[in-house]
Amino acid sequence: MFEALKRFRRERVLRRSALPDALWNEACRALPFLAGYTPGEMARLRDLCVLFLDAKGIVGVQGYEVTPLQRTSIAIQACVPILKLDLEWYEGFENVVVYPDEFVPHWEWEDEAGVVHRNDAPLAGEAMPRGPVVLSGPDIGTSAHRGDAQMNLVIHEFAHKIDMRDGDANGCPPLPDPMSRDAWRDTMRSAYADFRKRVDRGEHTAIDPYAAENPGEFFAVLSEVFFTEPPLLRRSYPEVYGEFVRFYRQDPGLRIAATGS
């Protein structure tokens, strides 16, 4: 009964809140990694975006006005990781907050010795536990590059949300059966140790060195790479790539192979 009601509601939203073709096409064109998606995947992505925009507020702050194209782009990129999962992964928060630029969160935390630290470094994005996803408007597009590392702020922050579904952003989201938590942990731990070592000795890494910050950032950055530049992750950490294929239930590398790029 509950399932039927849910389905009925979804279908009503999909009927009433369809995205205009021109807007959808323009938003998709700006995201080159969508090129290899099958028509079936694109249709599902579009439905998920409509449901996402119905469920979440996308709110500009400090006078920032979010354009319909940006709203659509945020929705698409947020829905890419859950294309084969479900919108339920994003339950527990209401809004995506968009700032006119990078922002300083001013959050404080206490370490084990009781010393209070304060973060004053500007951020382009943040996923708050049980709170909103916060983004810097100019960084929403996918074409932002730092050096040669592919960056995708929206996928990054929503990967944190996926990770936080069972608590902290610790790089281990709740895994579906029959995936093994031990296998996931071992794979991520050894890849993370290797990556940290490379960053610590000053090696140039094609993957954003920010991934060396902590296991939560490692998962979020590698998720960006998985969806936007899958061959790089497959080459760098094939075992992580395999775990991601099982977890996200998609293999973005096959799409690249299909487009021949």
**Tokens standing for residue 224:** 């960006």
Find the shortest distance in angstroms from Cβ 140 to Zn ion. 15
Q: 179 to 218, contacts with Zn ion by CB under 5 A?
A: 217
Choice between 157 and 251, CB closer to Zn ion: 157
| Inter-residue contact 218 to 188 (CB < 8 Å) | yes
Find the shortest distance in angstroms from Cβ 217 to Zn ion. 5
Choice between 27 and 220, CB closer to Zn ion: 220
Choice between 152 and 236, CB closer to Zn ion: 152
Is residue 222 a contact point for Zn ion (CB under 5 A)? no
Is residue 66 a contact point for Zn ion (CB under 5 A)? no
Is residue 220 a contact point for Zn ion (CB under 5 A)? yes
Find the shortest distance in angstroms from Cβ 260 to Zn ion. 33
Find the shortest distance in angstroms from Cβ 216 to Zn ion. 7
Choice between 27 and 78, CB closer to Zn ion: 78
- Where along the sequence are the contacts to Zn ion (CB under 5 A)? 217, 220
